Amino acid sequence: MDLVNQFIFIGALLILLSILAGMVSSRLGAPLLLVFLLLGMLAGEDGIFHIHFNDYRSTFAVGSIALAIILFEGGLRTPRDVVRLVIWPALSLATVGVLLSAVAIAGVAHLVMGFSPLEGVLLGAVVASTDAAAVFMLLHGRGSAVNARVTGTLELESGMNDPMAVFLTLLCVELLQHPDLSPGWFAVQELAIAFIGGGALGLLGGFALRWLVERLNLTTALYPILIAAGALLIFGGANLMGASGFLAVYVAGVMLARAPYRAQQVISRFLDGLAWLSQIAMFLLLGLLVTPSKLLVDLPAAIVIALAVILIARPGSVAIALLPFRFTWPERGFIAWVGLRGAVPIFLASIPILSGLPNAQRYFNVAFVVVLVSLLIQGWTVGRAARFLGLNVPEDETALDPLDLGLGPKAERELAGFRVKPGSRALRHTYGALGLPANAQILAAIRDEKPIEDFQDAKPEAGDYVIAIVPPVEITAAQRLFAEHKATEAEPEGFGEFMLSGDGGADQLALVYGLDLGDHRSGETLADFMHERLGKIAVVGDRVRIGEVELVVRAVKDGRVKTVGLELEDQREKLPARRAARRLRRRALVWSQRTLRAIRQKRGGPPAA
């Protein structure tokens, strides 16, 4: 009994410390997942609590459940239009990219660790995939806002590349255990079952969950439990059938989120908290599992492999996997840099240990060091990389925290609460003239804990609490009325000195500013012109250069450009990456001239001019 109580006490203490340490680390810009991992190590065998924990089987089980929850919640947060926008490049990165990374890492492992080619591919498969928890968290951190095409590609890739990594890991383990097995047909069959089966089961599961939510009349608190249980049912069922449970649960989340559904905010809040708990528990367990003193024997080789993953394998695989797609070079560079490794490599590294393979502990040691180096280097520099490559876009100040109470199974609107934030648009009007979305209605406004009488004629104040009934599809739009807008916070440079409506005429723009738009249709709107020039679905931050000026997409709604910025300065020359490249070229030129002069002087010839 005392042992159980100690386990409960220490577990709860570690989770509490993780949350408190996370608050401090966020101010320093440190990745939260790194904090959770280090706390687990501090509590482990070489740490302050000296907890001896080496239960790989339990860690594998907990990690599976945690990853399923994280992937499902990530799927719920992936908008349908983003899926349409980036599905093919993300799929290419999740399959071709993972395979290429595994092969590249295999070559490095053969050189520095003496692994056989198959053992090298196994190590490559273990560390090849990016981590959904790390990517989702860091891409939505403050100061890291990047255009939707890049963010969506990275998020969708991290949600879909786990099946490929799991498949490669299991295939290599199987081939190492049975050297006489022919990998050709076996590999194709297993890959088809994993991807096609996982995708199909995810689609069916997502539809089934939506059907249940819309037709079952439950108390509000039971809806999130129903959804969480359904997600784990899809995950476990897919694995039992030989398909990819990770892909199935992610696709199910995407399908459930394709349109508003009942109790959406309650479910979202519950799963958000559950995903956080899953991340904390998973990283604490993985930290406990590691004994730092045992890493020393493989530490030099592991650091070399970690740097090879960041500087060679990831950039090379991204360059090849994205060849067919129209990404700019800064976008490709950012995608290559944000190949964050997290819990998945450590989780996959436990498979060789559970299978009893030779060198199993070495795979685990290397995987842990790769994750640690990735979080330290890449995780700490996501925001800086976005600014360096000029990919920052204005942050959406909308804080999606309305209180969803639900109005019953047949209601077409949800009861929601909104806090009026400083600087919000609502402060400019009275409550009766706010311009709420269609079919939305304010029921009450509360100030200083008291309802405002005749609130329709009153002007909102920061801190007011508004209770309204809103269609689920319009909750986000309603929240934008009350969201905080910090006027003192400067948006990224280069988003236009003048703002133009997308519905304005392109001919008028050319006439007023003396621009040569080239071949374009007479009477064409500015939005149509931008879409035609971009040749793809536009996102905030996309640019079209016309002579000495740039047109920048500032706002998009329902896939159509709504606002365009006119930028008169050449932002390409102000880009930090370009400035760094120019400095590097100048230094290379000076160095080459000095070297040439020294060679000529040594040979007795005349010095170079």
Tokens of 316: 């090379």
Which ranges constitute the DSSP H helices of 448-575? 475-482, 506-513, 526-534, 571-574
In this structure, what token pair is assigned to residue 499?
Answer: 């703002």
* Predicted confidence band of residue 488 (pLDDT cuts 50, 70, 90): very low
Q: So what's the pLDDT on residue 353?
A: 92
Note the pLDDT of residue 24. Answer: 67
Overall residue count recorded for the chain in this entry: 609
Which residues, at least 6 apart from 404, have a Cβ–Cβ distance to it below 8 Å?
263, 264, 265, 266, 414, 415, 416, 475
Q: Let me know if domain 55-388 sits in CATH 1.10.10.10.
A: no
Q: How much is the average pLDDT of 200-209?
A: 94
Query: Two tokens at 401?
Result: 């925290």
Mean pLDDT of 413-418: 80
Contact call for residues 227 and 262 (beta carbons, < 8 A): no
pLDDT at 8: 84
pLDDT bracket for residue 324 (50, 70, 90): very high
pLDDT at 410 > cutoff 60: no
- Average the pLDDT over 316-332 and give the result: 93
The percentage of the chain sitting over the pLDDT mark of 70, rounded to a whole number, equals 88
The residue-averaged pLDDT of 183-209 equals: 85
- 562-572: pLDDT as tens digits: 888 888 766 56
Contact 251, 202 (CB under 8 A): yes
CATH number of this structure's domain 414-482, picked from the four choices 3.40.50.970, 3.30.360.10, 3.30.70.1450, 3.60.20.10:
3.30.70.1450
Q: Is the pLDDT of residue 112 over 90?
A: yes
Q: Report pTM.
A: 0.79
Average pLDDT (245-257) is 91
Pick the CATH number of 498-572 from 3.40.640.10, 3.40.190.80, 1.10.260.40, 3.30.465.10: 3.30.465.10
pLDDT confidence tier of residue 445, bands split at 50, 70 and 90: very high
What Rg do the C-alpha atoms of the chain give, in angstroms? 27
Q: What would the pLDDT profile of 65-87 be if each residue is shown by its tens digit? A: 999 999 999 888 887 777 888 89
Q: How many CB atoms lie within 10 A of CB 588?
A: 10
SS3 392: strand
pLDDT for 252-265, tens place per residue? 999 998 877 777 87
CB 386 within 8 A of CB 378: no
- In sign, the C-alpha dihedral spanning 251, 252, 258, 260 is negative
- The encoded tokens of residue 60 equal 């594998």
Give the closest residue to 156 by CA, choosing from 22, 226, 257, 279: 257
The pLDDT value recorded for residue 422 is 87
578-589 confidence digits (pLDDT tens): 677 777 878 888
- At 489 the pLDDT is 47
389 pLDDT more than 90: no
Q: What is the mean pLDDT of residues 450-471?
A: 89
Supply the pLDDT for residue 499.
78
pLDDT of residue 91 exceeding 70: yes
Instruction: Find the angle CA(202)-CA(203)-CA(209) to the nearest 5 degrees.
Output: 85
Q: Which residue has the higher pLDDT, 416 or 456?
A: 456
Burial readout 436-475 (b: 16 or more C-beta within 10 A, e: otherwise): bbeebebeebeeeeeebeebeeeebeeebbbbbbbbbebb
| Percent of the residues in the chain that have a pLDDT greater than 90, as a whole number | 29
Mean pLDDT value of segment 501-514: 79
What whole-number distance in Å separates Cα of residue 321 and Cα of residue 604?
51
Residue 229 has pLDDT above 90, yes or no: yes
Per-residue confidence band for 29, with pLDDT thresholds at 50, 70 and 90: low
pLDDT at 82: 78
Please state, rounded to an integer, the average pLDDT across all residues of the chain. Answer: 83
Mean pLDDT of 184-211: 86
Query: Which pLDDT does position 573 carry in this prediction?
Result: 60
